[in-house]
Amino acid sequence: MNKKRIILFSFLLAGLHVTSWSQSYQKTDNGIKARIQGTDVEVQFYTPQIVRIIKAPAGSTAMEKSLAVIAAPQKKLRLVIGEEKDELTVLTQSVVVKLNRQTAAIRFYDKNAALLLKEKENGTHFSPSADPPLYDVVQTFQLEGGESIYGLGQHQSGVMDQRGQQLLLKQNNMQIAVPFFQSIKGYGVLWDNNSTTHFKDDADGTSFQSEVGAGVDYYFIQGGNADKVIAGYRQLTGEAPLFPRWTLGYWQSRERYKSQYETNEVVRKYRELHVPLDGIVQDWQYWGEDESYWNSTEFGNPRFPEPKKMVDSVHDHHAHIIISVWPSFGNKTKIYEAFKQQNLLFGKYVTWPINENVEVYDAFNPHARDIYWSYMNKNIFSIGIDGWWLDSTEPDHFKDKESDEAYQTFLGAYRKVRNAFPLIHTGGVYKHQREVTGNKRVFILARSAFSGQQRFGTMMWSGDVVSGWNVFRKQISGGLNLSLSGLPYWNSDIGGFFSGRNYPGGVSDAAFRELYVRWLQFGTFCPMMRSHGTDTPREIYQFGAKGDWAYDAIEKFINLRYRFLPYNYSNAWEVAAGGTMMRALMMDFPTDKKVLNIDNEYMFGKSMLVCPVTDSMYTSRANGNTAVDLKTIKKQKLYLPAGTQWFDFWTGEKLAGDQEVEKEAPIDIMPLYVKAGSIIPMGPFQQYTDEKKPDALEIRIYEGADGKFTLYEDEGDNYNYEKRICTFIDFEWNDKARTLTIKDRKGSFPGMLQNRTFNVVVVKKGNGTGMEVPGKFDRVITYTGKAVTTKIP
């Protein structure tokens, strides 16, 4: 750091406010404004770590209010502003911003004067757009050679590191556009533009180019690591609320259950088989098969004569139900007529089978969102439906693909706001339900998302993917990059949506059964575990009965999902507090260069290393027939990251990090490893998430390092947790002293356990790891809410 920067930081740390005036710039409450070479530039600090950069042609139209960003700049920030011949400098205790007074190019440094990111000289461009007086806008950055970046939504290209990629950020089935990336250097860039955007990284630089905008508008977030970058992103765009506990159970779905009897029978059958289940999904055409009544939000299909009775039956079986609702409506529906009378429709839509008498509502109009919810509330929510499957949230299937961008919305031409449709659409449902009741947490399953959508209680899924091993593997990097885009909740259709293309025999084909089992194992370690698809049914009993290899493997992993419920729900609380559940390896091992582009492993929470099996091992095809060989056990190669030791979850064997290993992977085993120093609570075997009280949790300790874990609990399905009506129990393992300390319980909630038992197991090879509950524990602790420490020899 040169002397001038040292002096500036010294002034800042001493609490002094340095001001340097010049005719060439203007000081603002949160930074500076300047006019350079015909461009108006503003540097605006939102927090000491977050900087907004605005650039526009001199005197042009002001920036419109952001749809993604909801934060306001902090008041009374301590800024230091310095003026040099060629540069203006604005800095806080965390970030230094330098603005070139000749070219308007900006550079960002950390507090130690290390360069983090710089704009390319003359890398800002404006040209006339199709929506005057707005512009086609471009900003190009120059990244360091070898610098890995992640995020940009979900793109099924099968890569983790987005360097060298060219991506069209335009909402579509199977492609989720989020104009945000973060760097392995510990910073992020949020490009605040709602129009179709082209991302490109090549020898000329790293650029965002948006088709419509008042100017360049982006946020630089300095975090130091991935978790803090995401925390900064959510500070700008909103925190992710906590989902109901039941959403962490197992979900069964199909395209589609064709009667209320069929829906209820699936739930009844799971209970009869004693296979855990918490959710059932009712897909489309409950409104009837005449497409003029498309998405009426009413049960018009005669096969659903008593919808409330259907919902009540699901609840009587201790399960929950969500239902499909679209953003488009047939021309004979009451809701269509309500929209049409007030000119609140904006685009012709093509459904299946082809029907052109369907139109999309203008979600950007607040009154249209009111009408949308009023019909959902009156016809669906009122009978007890627990959540929403908002399908086609892009939306896609417009009749006229060439001119759809010219459709007019409440906020202007659709081209200007198209990527934000899922954000506004889901936001309307979230806000309205919360106004109706706080006793039922909002749960939305959506196919698309945009910056900030995490604040609306939305779980994304990867779209209508095809059943296939290569597609399956690409789900992993797609979901991880979406998580690195700040949107923490994601899943995929277990087994792939379209099975008939590669597996016309469906569940009768052993090759499909193998793919389905492996995909379900992966789904066990996703934020939502949900089976869904078309062409062939997916319920567990379609795969045989107890004793059949596919059935047994499916049942084993569904049970494992429930055993991990205390761990998963505690991690869900961490998400609500700014964390990430499904974690790319670079988040926890940023200095291990071997992990930077690994696309088939990840952390689930900060303790579990997951390596899905994404290749066929036990079935083969020849002459149109499928052969099965389960006796010859195959192995899966995987890498154990450096800097820690690892325990094989299934055997308890301890292994060193920084090595590639081969793990035996019979059909009912997916490689799982636990980081040394982890403390993992495991719950009881149960049929649904609230069947049994967690009064005797198994606490697994993985020695070799000090460890901490916070067990989070609350009522499970209301918003009292926002008032801190919940509990936290901190566990700490001192590896050298071999002591476990369980601290005083913090907080309370109605119905909480006053006293409970913690059965402690220090995991080692052969002492009851994997799915088995040990017959003997290292310690049995009776806990009354007061701190206790025990030593384990």
Q: 768: domain CATH number?
A: 2.60.40.1180
Q: Do residues 685 and 778 both lie within one domain?
A: yes
Q: What is the pTM of this model?
A: 0.96
Q: Do residues 116 and 22 both lie within one domain?
A: yes
Parent domain of 374? 284-456
At 578, is the secondary structure helix, strand, or coil? coil
Average pLDDT on 407-433 reads 96
Q: Do residues 446 and 306 both lie within one domain?
A: yes
Q: Do residues 294 and 211 both lie within one domain?
A: no
At 220-239, the pLDDT tens digits run 999 999 999 999 999 999 99
Measured distance CA(724)–CA(714) in Å, rounded: 9
State the DSSP string of 94-159.
Answer: SEEEEEETTT--EEEEETT--EEEEEEEEEEEEEE-SSTTSEEEEEEEEPPTT--EEEEEE-TTS-
Residue 768: is it exposed, middle or buried by C-beta count within 10 angstroms (0-12/13-18/19+)? middle
Backbone angles phi and psi of 28, in degrees to 5 = -120, 175
**What is the pLDDT, as a whole number, of residue 353?**
56
Average pLDDT on 584-589 reads 98
Confidence of residue 406 (pLDDT cuts 50, 70, 90): confident
Spell 293-317 as b/e; 16+ CB within 10 A means b.
bbbbbbbbbebbeebeebbebbeeb
Q: What is the mean pLDDT of the chain?
A: 94
**What is the pLDDT, as a whole number, of residue 22?**
43
pLDDT above 90 for 404: no
pLDDT above 80 for 687: yes
Strands 756-762 and 696-701: parallel
632, part of any domain: no
Q: Do residues 193 and 76 both lie within one domain?
A: yes
CATH code for the domain of 310? 3.20.20.80
**What is the pLDDT, as a whole number, of residue 402?**
63
668, part of any domain: no
Which of 175, 194, 222 is the endpoint of a domain? 222
Measured distance CA(602)–CA(583) in Å, rounded: 6
Q: Is residue 400 within 8 Å of residue 348, measured between CB atoms?
A: yes
pLDDT above 90 for 329: yes
- In angstroms, the Cα distances linking 332 to 127, 268, 293, 296 are 44, 35, 5, 8
At 614-670, the pLDDT tens digits run 999 999 988 778 999 999 999 999 999 999 999 999 999 999 999 999 999 999 999
Average pLDDT on 130-139 reads 94
% pLDDT > 90, the chain = 90
The answer to whether residue 601 is catalytic is no
Token pair of 738, please? 């071999």
**What is the pLDDT, as a whole number, of residue 401?**
64
Residue 236: is it exposed, middle or buried by C-beta count within 10 angstroms (0-12/13-18/19+)? buried
Q: Report which secondary-structure segment, H or E, holds 627.
A: strand 625-628
pLDDT above 90 for 569: yes
Q: Is residue 574 within 8 Å of residue 582, measured between CB atoms?
A: no
Average pLDDT on 675-690 reads 97
Q: Catalytic pick from 359, 464, 703, 714? A: 464
pLDDT above 80 for 188: yes
Q: Do residues 351 and 428 both lie within one domain?
A: yes
- The count of other CB atoms within 10 Å of the CB of residue 754 is 10
At 87-110, the pLDDT tens digits run 999 999 999 999 999 999 999 999
Confidence of residue 316 (pLDDT cuts 50, 70, 90): very high
Chain centroid to Cα 261, Å, comes to 33
At 751-775, the pLDDT tens digits run 999 999 999 999 999 886 677 777 7
Q: Catalytic pick from 119, 161, 394, 599? A: 394
Token pair of 128, please? 């006339």
**What is the pLDDT, as a whole number, of residue 702?**
97
Strands of 611-706 (E only): list them: 619-622, 625-628, 635-640, 645-648, 654-656, 659-664, 672-675, 679-682, 696-701
Q: Catalytic pick from 40, 391, 703, 714? A: 391
Q: Do residues 330 and 202 both lie within one domain?
A: no
Strand partners, 99: 88, 106
252, part of any domain: no
Q: Do residues 291 and 199 both lie within one domain?
A: no
The answer to whether residue 227 is catalytic is no
Ramachandran sector of residue 644 (left: φ over 0; alpha: ψ -120 to 50; beta: rest):
beta
The answer to whether residue 394 is catalytic is yes
Question: How many structural domains are present in the chain?
Answer: 3
Confidence of residue 24 (pLDDT cuts 50, 70, 90): confident
Report the first-to-last Cα separation within the chain, whole angstroms: 51
699, part of any domain: yes
% pLDDT > 70, the chain = 96
310, part of any domain: yes
Q: Do residues 169 and 301 both lie within one domain?
A: no
At 291-314, the pLDDT tens digits run 899 999 999 999 999 999 999 999
393, part of any domain: yes
pLDDT above 60 for 8: no
Q: Do residues 216 and 290 both lie within one domain?
A: no
Which of 435, 456, 477 is the endpoint of a domain? 456
**What is the pLDDT, as a whole number, of residue 595?**
98
Measured distance CA(728)–CA(745) in Å, rounded: 6
Find the DSSP H helices in 329-397. 334-341, 366-379
Which of 456, 478, 500 is the endpoint of a domain? 456
Q: Do residues 193 and 64 both lie within one domain?
A: yes
pLDDT above 90 for 488: yes
At 563, is the secondary structure helix, strand, or coil? helix
Residue 203: is it exposed, middle or buried by C-beta count within 10 angstroms (0-12/13-18/19+)? exposed
Q: Do residues 117 and 211 both lie within one domain?
A: yes
- In angstroms, the Cα distances linking 351 to 50, 444, 599, 740 are 43, 22, 35, 59
**What is the pLDDT, as a whole number, of residue 310?**
98
Strands of 216-259 (E only): list them: 216-222, 250-252
Amino acid letter at 540? Answer: I
Chain centroid to Cα 776, Å, comes to 39
**What is the pLDDT, as a whole number, of residue 629?**
95
484, part of any domain: no
521, part of any domain: no
pLDDT above 70 for 351: no
